[in-house]
Every structure is written in structure tokens, then in C-alpha cells.
Structure 1
Amino acid sequence: MKYKLRARADREACGASDKSGRPGQASWLKITSRPSRRSITVFYGWVIVGLAFVVQFIAVGSMMQCFPVFLLPLTEEFGIGRAQGALPPVAMMLSGIVFSPLIGMAISRFPIRNVMLAGALAMALGFYALSQATTFWQIVLAYGLAGPPAMGAMGSIACNSLIVNWFERQRSLALGLAMIGMSISGAIMIPAATWGLETWGWRGVYKFFAIIPLGLMPLIAWLVVNRPEDLGLAADGDAPAEVGRSAFESAPAAPSSLRALLGTPTLWLIGAACGLSFFGALAVMNHGIAFAIDRGIDPMRAAGMLSAISVGAATGKLAFGWLADRLGEKGAFKVALTFQFFALLGLATLSGYAALVAASGLFGLGLGGIAPLQVALLARSFRGGDFSRALGLIAPLMIPFQIAGPPLAGWIFDRQGSYDLAIWIFMASTLASGFVISFLRLPDAGKPTPQAE
């Protein structure tokens, strides 16, 4: 059976005009079947989710997930040690402290489409610069300058802002679906990059990676629409208001200043709770194989523990997105923390391979759930332009926790010959996260949140 896919702007029913600036921009997608003449109407917000899935798959997969593929070739090329060779991801995270708030401010002031296009261009230029590098400091600089725009301006900050604009009741589920792209990118892009490395060399792979965001730019320019009102629609596909913007604010309020947002306790509570929950995440992933080998597990089988974390994280993004829409963001957050706590307890006390794989999967499940819940908590707490600015500010609050975990675990192992104390510390940080989140007070769903003065 052949299907015909066509886009139509359904504005006659609501009496609104297309404010996206492109005639014929799709507000709904209608799939028609010629033989049966039946049709399926899809809310355009789900197109935004699909685009966010693809964009985050590429941005995170190429910039972050694939870096281990380049580690050994770069150390051999430039004659450096592995500790120095691991600096590019650290440079990305540290520069994100500066870039993320700026990206959040840009999204609150300019069309998200333009910000994403700028991020795609920065990503392309960054990968091309990597392919031409002649010294290792140029590699570190290119990752530090191109990574945050790629993963923030084109990726997570922009994509999450779009989804928050398009969804209210199903927001957490939509966020979780889009973020699955980040979780599965490594499983697909790492083998592809490894094959490319053997075929073209590391410079050739970087050149290929530079082409990918250029190919995304037309898709971004065509499909991105800031919010449903721009197409005469309402969030979640609800019927538009009969008169003007009565279902929404009468006019968008001016975004609060960064200083005002930083003075909001809610931002610090969410940042601290999420940062504490992520404290052990990178440590478990970076030291996971070494931890398993110390338990007498074969290196090839030890890699299965990391695969279990990846599968669990992908599942957690979807499962906790669904759960938050029913249980509430705080309730789902506490469930995710519970999974993390008992998973760490299992890693500290269990020894069998199957049990360790199960504990790893449980850890990934809880960890994967925190990512969409973090954005959902911010979206409930900050509305309008304040949300994208708060999303940009939350990264500098969490990054210190994220980068502290791996060296702490390594330092403890070097002195005690075991990761046990590190795992117990990460369990304590998980409990501390639950304690902090209990102080967070969220507004009722559907009610606008007062902006920071």
C-alpha cells in the first residue's frame, strides 16, 4: 500500500496566521492512504520531538560519545600520554560553564531556529579545525570552542526549549523520547567511527563529521518553529483558544536577568539535586571496566556492564518521562534516585557477573531518568524566556559535580586498592540529592510561574 505524506497548515479552524515566516509550514502532518481514504493526523509537536532526537543523536554522538575512538590515535600522533589525551572532554565541560548561560540567553532573545543553525555551523567548523590540527593544544581548543555550541546551541538547550514550548501535559514523555537519541548514539556512531578510523584515518573521520551538521542545516531551517502559537496551535495538540491568546499569557513577559535568576532558590535546589545525582555517573562509566576486572571478570565481558548502563539509560529516559506525566516530576525524581541508590549498593556488595550486569542496568535506568526530569523540573519552575536562561545556568551548577567524580574514584583506588569507599560516597550523594529535592516547591501544573524580580 502506498502512502502519501503531505503537510498542511490547519489555520482556518482557529483563524490564526502563520508567524513562522515560511508559507506552507506544516502545523499538522496528514498521512493519507489512497485505497482506503483514511487519514492519520499527527500533532506537529511530535515532528519537533523527532527532529530533536536526530539532532541530539548527531551532536552528542559525534562530539562526546565518539571521543574514546580518537584517544589512542591522538596520543600516538602527538606523542602524549593518555592522561593528557583525555583533556578534550574536560575542556568541553569547563567551557560549557561559560557557553551554556550565553546560549540560554540567546535562545530567550532570538528565534531558536537561528541559534540552532549557528550551533550547527560552529560544529562543522570545529570538526574541520580538528582535521587540520598540527599540535595537541589545537585539538583541546577546538573541542572547547565547538563542543558547547554543538551540544547546547544545536543540541540539548535548544531542543529542550523547543519541546517545552510545544508540550505541557506530555512534556516529560516528549523530553524522554527526544533524549533517547543521546543514549543510543554511542551504540551506532562509535562502531561507525571505528570503521571510518580504519578506512580514512582520524583526520578523515573528523572531516566527515564536519559535513554532517551542514546536512542538518536545511532540515533545521525548514522544520523548527518556536512554539505552537506561531502556527495557530496549542500545546499538546489541544484545541486553540477561541479568542486570541486566552489559553496563554496575553503577551510574553520579558526574561529575567541572569542575576535575578541566580538569586532564585529554586534554580540552586534543582542544580544541587541533579548535580549530586550525577556525581557518581561519570565515575561509574569511566572506571566501570576496571572495577569489573578487579572483581575477576574478563575484559570483554566487563564491557557488557557499560552496555547495560547504556540500555538502561535509554529505557529510563522513556520510562521516567512517562512516569513523571502521571506521578509528577518530584515523585519520579525520587524513584530514579531510589534505583540509583540500590544499584550502587549492588555494585558494592555483589560479585557475580550476572548480578553486576543487572545492577549496572538498574543504575543506567535511574541515571537515564534524571536527564528528562531535570528539564521538566526547570520547565515547571520557570516559564517563557526564563526557562531557556535557567537551562543555560543549570550546567555551571552541575559540572563541578560531574567532573569531580572520576578523579575522586581514581584517587581512592590508588590509595586503598579498591573502589568500595568511592561507591559508598556516591550512595551518600544520592541520598543527599533526595534530601535537597524534598525542599523544592513546584507550582501547580498549568499555572504560570512568577518571574524573578
Structure 2
Amino acid sequence: MDKAIGSGQAEEWKSGWTLVLAASVGFSFFSVLLAATGLFMEPLSREFGWNRSLLSAGPAIATLITAVLSPFYGALIDRAGSRRLALPGIVAVMAATCAFATANGSPVQWIALWVVLGVLLTTIKSTIWTLAVASMFTKGRGLALGFTVSGTALAQAIVPPLGNFLIEEVGWRGAFVWFGLGWGGLSLLLCFLFLYDAHDRNVRSGKAPASRSGDHLPGLTRQEALRSRPLWQVAVSTFVVMFLTIGLSIHLFPILTESGVSRSNAAWLTSLTGIAGIIGKLATGALLDRFRPNWIGGLTMGVTAVTFFLLTVAMSSTPAIVIALLVNGYAAGTKMQICAYLTAGYAGMRHFGAIYGMMSALVALASGLGPLAAGAIYDRLGGYEPFLWAGTVGCLIGGALLVFLPSYPRWDAAESQEKDQVA
């Protein structure tokens, strides 16, 4: 069995590694400006006199817009396929990124630039890349998705030093242009050469109708997905854990400093989460392919409770803090990866774009509400302790929802039966 799985994974990677590379770099372009926002705050504030609230409002607005549009765009991906939408989407985001160089000091223009970017970012968010990779990988799907979603970690690691260098060398306007044309251009080239999905494969082999509808692929309809208990469990688990962990991530630095950790040590400690995040994505991907995915997903989600618990009861212990942040970092980057993997398993690929688009919308909503809730709890109660206790309990519940998922439907058997009927 293990040899058969390993052989299947090797065959998938042999033919699909370039797809994973293109999807990972393409997804990284989605995160470039979001990761670079802090770099531009000082030069823009100095030139235009803008406050941090205005400068921070743009990314929040863009994230909200992508949440609203994700389900609709996911349905469109199901019909058109990833390639047809990703290539023009990358070009549009390149132009929108370069347009930030035209900022003239008008707050209205600044917000308008982010509104336009938010609409266009929907065309290159996680749905389009995960659909392409999930549709082409079965045996090695977990690791393939791990590399794909690592694109955001790639951006978060490279953008700060690169952006700072560009701002110093060519100014903030030039930095926007270089990010748009340079990073976007590389993404466009790789996707033009290597991005495809099951739609494209079936069209080339003559198995798909010209409309490119996903009806020829096995899986649930959208109405069936709405009645699927396993998918609801995945959705609720992901929403709860994202709500709590994103709230923690945004407030982690003040949580540490208010507990007596110096600013320099807090900065060093929080950097550990980024390193652990990359390891977590790849390790979780490999584990999902070899063991029961609901157990791996549930344990990975649930173990985040350790972070909240240690930050509540053991803040005086440096080793405990390090363990808490390493655990949080390991699990932090895996939530969307686990969600995509389980959604593909329980929903199939027939309408994966629309179904996963709804999951992405819930994630974006949770990512926006979590930090607000943590801040409100701090303002009302004078500390983060109630939020940390809620995180301990909530992450355990989120993990348990995945552990108790039923077995996957047999989509491979359904697909074989369809092929036999056609033959």
C-alpha cells in the first residue's frame, strides 16, 4: 500500500511540479502589497501627513471585498477553469499595483486604489490556485497544497527586506512599480507556461465539453454541499480557529510586551512563528497524504490551544513562551491548507471553486472579526486573559469537529463508474 501511494505521488509530482511552482508564485503575488503595507507607512505619512488609521484602512477594505466576492468568483472558476481567469487577473493586479505610484495625497484616491485592488485581488486569491493543484493531485495532494499556500509565506519573508531596499533606492513610487511589474511579471510568465487544471487536461484529451463546465468531474452540487454535515463541520472549525488565531496574531506583540517581555525580545520571539509556519505547511501536507486527513487536520487545529493556554498561565517562563509561539507558528499557516484539502475530499471537484469560495469568504470574515473582538475584550475588560481562555477552549472545539468527521466519499469510484458508462 505505502509503495503504491509513494509511486502514485512520484508520478503526480513528475508531471505536476511545475504547476505547483506556478501556483505558489502566483499566490505569493496576492500577498505582496498586503505584506508591504507597513513599509510604505512612514514615507507616505511623511510626504502626505496621513495617519496610521487611513494607511491601515486600505488593506482592511481590500480583504473585506475579497470576502464578499469570493463565492461568486469561485463559481466562475468552476466554469472557466483556473488558467483562463488567472492570466488576465495577474495582468490586472499588476496594473493596479503600479497605480499606487500615482498617489497624490488625496485620502479618497488612496481608498479608491485599495477598493479597485480588492476587486482585482479576488482573481488571484487562494481559490484559483488550490483548485488547479487539487484537481491535478490526488495521492500527493496534501504536500502539493502545502507548497502552494507557502506562496504567502514566501511573500512575507521576501517582501520586507526587498521593499525596504526598493524604497531606499528608487523611492516609494518606484517600489510600487517594481512590485507590480517585477513580481507580477514573474508570476505571469510562470503561469503562462505552467498553469493548468483538470479542465485543461480533459479539454486536451477530448473529454470535456466546450463549455468547460465542471459537471464532468465527480463531486457534490452546490445544493448538496449546503446540506453536507462534513462540510459544515469543516466550515465551522475553520471559522472558529481562524477567528481566534488571527486575533491572537494581530495582538501578539502587545500581549508579550504587556506581560513584561522587552520590545526587542518580543520582536525576536514573534519572528519564530514565520519560520515555524513554513515547516508547518510542508509537514502537514506530507502528513495529510499518509494518514487520516481528519485526524491530522483536527490535531493541527486543536494543538493551537496549547499556545493560548501557555500565554495565559505561563507568561513568566521564557521556554513556555518559545514553545507557545513555535506551536502557533507551526499551525498558523496550515488552516487554509487543511480547509482546502478536506473541502476537496468531502465536496469533490465538480463545484470545488464555488464551494471553496464560500469557505474562503468565511475565512476572510473570521480574519477581520477576530482582531476586532480581541481589541474589544481588551478595551472593556482591561486585559487579554478572557480572549486567551476563549482561544484555549475554541481551538479544542475546532480540532474536535475535524477529528470526528466521517470517511471520505469514494469520488475515485464514482469517476471510474462514469468513465465505464461513457465507454
TM-score by length of 2: 0.85
Q: What is the distance in 2 between the residues matched to 1:391 and 1:196?
A: 36
Shift of 1:252: 0.8
1:92 aligns to what?
Answer: 62
Shift of 1:360: 0.6
Q: What is the distance in 2 between the residues matched to 1:69 and 1:118?
A: 28
2:401 aligns to what?
Answer: 436
Matched, 1:309 2:273: yes
1:268 aligns to what?
Answer: 232
Matched, 1:411 2:376: yes
Shift of 1:283: 2.1
Match of 2:295 among 311, 331, 334: 331
SS at match of 1:279: helix
RMSD (Å) for aligned C-alpha atoms: 3.0
Q: 1:95 to 1:251 in 2, by over 3 A?
A: closer
SS at match of 2:216: coil
Q: What is the distance in 2 between the residues matched to 1:353 and 1:119?
A: 46
C-alpha contact (below 8 Å) 2:295/2:402 kept by paired residues: no
1:295 aligns to what?
Answer: 259
Match of 1:114 among 71, 76, 84: 84
Q: How does 1:9-24 map to 2 (within 5 A)?
A: none
Matched, 1:145 2:110: no
Q: What is the distance in 1 between the residues matched to 2:413 and 2:402?
A: 21
2:317 aligns to what?
Answer: 352
C-alpha contact (below 8 Å) 1:279/1:405 kept by paired residues: yes
Q: What is the distance in 2 between the residues matched to 1:114 and 1:228?
A: 10
Q: What is the distance in 2 between the residues matched to 1:429 and 1:131?
A: 43
Match of 1:166 among 108, 118, 136: 136
1:207 aligns to what?
Answer: 177
2:352 aligns to what?
Answer: 387
Shift of 1:431: 2.4
2:339 aligns to what?
Answer: 374
Match of 1:125 among 92, 95, 99: 95
C-alpha contact (below 8 Å) 2:273/2:326 kept by paired residues: yes
TM-score by length of 1: 0.79
User: Residue type of the partner of 1:166?
Assistant: M
- Deviation per CA, 1:147-166: give whole Å up to 9, x if none: 4543x433421111111111
| Unaligned stretches of 5+ residues in structure 2 | 1-10, 209-213, 418-423
- Deviation per CA, 1:66-123: give whole Å up to 9, x if none: 2221233334444333233211221122101222123212211113212111220221
Q: What is the distance in 1 between the residues matched to 2:130 and 2:87?
A: 16
Q: What is the distance in 1 between the residues matched to 2:401 and 2:12?
A: 43
C-alpha contact (below 8 Å) 2:23/2:195 kept by paired residues: no
C-alpha contact (below 8 Å) 1:339/1:365 kept by paired residues: no
Q: Between Structure 1 and Structure 2, which shows a larger proportion of helix residues? A: 2
2:211 aligns to what?
Answer: none
Q: What is the distance in 2 between the residues matched to 1:331 and 1:254?
A: 24
1:54 aligns to what?
Answer: 25
C-alpha contact (below 8 Å) 2:305/2:396 kept by paired residues: yes
Shift of 1:206: 1.0
User: Residue type of the partner of 2:236?
Assistant: A
Matched, 1:252 2:210: no
Shift of 1:146: 2.0
Q: 1:396 to 1:232 in 2, by over 3 A?
A: closer
SS at match of 1:385: coil
C-alpha contact (below 8 Å) 1:308/1:364 kept by paired residues: yes
Q: What is the distance in 1 between the residues matched to 2:12 and 2:197?
A: 21
1:8 aligns to what?
Answer: none
| Unaligned stretches of 5+ residues in structure 1 | 1-39, 235-243
C-alpha contact (below 8 Å) 2:219/2:348 kept by paired residues: no
Q: What is the distance in 2 between the residues matched to 1:203 and 1:259?
A: 47
User: Residue type of the partner of 2:51?
Assistant: G
1:35 aligns to what?
Answer: none
Match of 2:157 among 173, 187, 193: 187
SS at match of 1:296: coil
SS at match of 1:331: helix
C-alpha contact (below 8 Å) 1:315/1:368 kept by paired residues: no
Q: What is the distance in 2 between the residues matched to 1:206 and 1:380?
A: 39
User: Residue type of the partner of 1:379?
Assistant: A
Q: 1:79 to 1:257 in 2, by over 3 A?
A: farther
Matched, 1:224 2:195: yes
Higher relative contact order, chain-length normalized (CA < 8 Å, sep 6+): 2
- Deviation per CA, 1:23-68: give whole Å up to 9, x if none: xxxxxxxxxxxxxxxxx996221111122222222322x1322222
User: Residue type of the partner of 1:384?
Assistant: M
Paired residues, what number? 397
Q: What is the distance in 2 between the residues matched to 1:328 and 1:146?
A: 39
